[in-house]
Amino acid sequence: MFKRDGIWWACIRYRGKKIQRSLETDNKNLAVSIEARLRIELIEGKYFDRHEGENKTFREMMERFMKEHAPKVSRNMQKSYTTSAKHLLSFFGDSRLTAITPKIINEYKVSRKTQGKKPATINKELAMLQKAFSLAVKQWEWIKENPCLKIPKERENNQRDRWLSGDEEKRLLENSPQWLRDIIIFDLHTGLRQDELLSLTWDRVDLFRKTIIIQETKNGKPRTIPLNQIALNILMEKAKVRNLKSDFVFSSNAMTKIDRRNLIRTFDIAREKAGIQNFHFHDLRHTFATRLAQRGIDLYKISKLLGHCDIHMTQRYAHHCPESLREGIEVLEKVDYNLTTVGGNRNVSTA
């Protein structure tokens, strides 16, 4: 026997087969008893015909998934799991796992399409469903087969190809308060996701090495991002007026983490004043990647900077490379933003 995440597991070799399964207890004496029963079932030939899934429900699978697997992923992924689980449970509820077939899962897909959900949303939910069933088969041994394996993904056609032109960038910055201006410029030169940006703390900043470390990433893996001079200047100016009561690089007037709704509301006001249409805050990240591709930076490096777990996610920027988009693009650092703090309030307005 051995322990994994505080739970005892059996590891038995029988007729050339290695059998590992969770004993579903942290009590060693109980685990020993369960393992002994397993050995008897093996000898009597009952083990391979017995699966617990006959009595396990979808709700039980989701509860165990959220308890054991969800804590191992990033906070953003946990939020995604929570949202997906809500919709999955409303459809499958207390159905027995053995009763959930590929046909029923396809019916779920149809119901979500009928509700007007985007392919990307449906695929997220199916990915969670497949992972949960995979654990139920391979680790928990509740059922024999994963019914999701025969379910094709939805084709995603909802990718945006929108980035800021030089003129739009100038107008957006002119109509932004100083604190938002800092955030926009920094994001245009780092490509951070919104939550990564708002969660950035000073202990993740190394001004000497000119790097920042993003700990809470979408794929759960930390990444180090090098800073160009413009991004570094932003941090150096922020450091000059830093209030030691706040750990956040970009903080509110109350020295707390900037509220996402306040950020988006202020951003949208600045965008409207600038006369910019069909542009979201997340498109700043797209602008960062697009400009790198236009400058000839290879997709592998762009993928690493963006924190993509799969380079295929970065392929959307391939058509911006010089081979297919023959435009002369100036180096990003040639823009002079005049970042010295002279009278400008770099704190967030909560009004």
Please state, in angstroms and rounded to a whole number, the distance separating the CA atoms of residues 109 and 86.
Answer: 15
**Alpha carbon separation from 150 to 4, 63, 89, 102, 146 (Å, rounded):** 30, 24, 21, 7, 9
Determine the 3-state secondary structure of 306 from DSSP.
helix
pLDDT 10s digits, 194-238: 999 999 999 999 999 999 998 866 666 788 999 999 999 999 999
* Sole residue written with tokens 């025969």: 150
The structure's pTM equals: 0.51
- What residues have CB less than 8 Å from 200, skipping those under 6 apart? 192, 212, 214, 248, 249, 250
Residues present in the chain in total: 351
Task: Dig out the tokens for 351 from the structure.
Answer: 């009004």
pLDDT of residue 303: 84
Superfamily of domain 54-150: Tyrosine recombinase, N-terminal domain (1.10.150.130)
Mean pLDDT of 141-147: 88
H or E stretch covering 17: strand 17-22
Please state, in angstroms and rounded to a whole number, the distance separating the CA atoms of residues 40 and 318.
Answer: 59
Q: Tell me phi and psi for residue 232, to 5 degrees.
A: -65, -40
Please state, in angstroms and rounded to a whole number, the distance separating the CA atoms of residues 136 and 138.
Answer: 6
Please state, in angstroms and rounded to a whole number, the distance separating the CA atoms of residues 296 and 302.
Answer: 10
Cβ atoms within 10 Å of 133's Cβ, excluding its own: 23
- Model confidence band, residue 329 (pLDDT cutoffs 50, 70, 90): very low
Please state, in angstroms and rounded to a whole number, the distance separating the CA atoms of residues 269 and 127.
Answer: 36
Q: Which residues pair with 96 in a beta bridge?
A: 57
Determine the 3-state secondary structure of 212 from DSSP.
strand
Domain ranges of the chain: 2-50, 54-150, 166-334
Domain formed by 166-334, architecture? Orthogonal Bundle (1.10)
Please state, in angstroms and rounded to a whole number, the distance separating the CA atoms of residues 108 and 93.
Answer: 12
What letter represents residue 239's amino acid?
Answer: A
Closest CA to 247 of 192, 196, 199, 195: 199
Closest CA to 151 of 90, 97, 189, 100: 100
pLDDT of residue 36: 84
pLDDT 10s digits, 95-128: 999 889 999 999 999 999 999 898 889 999 999 9
Determine the 3-state secondary structure of 12 from DSSP.
strand
Closest CA to 142 of 52, 23, 57: 52
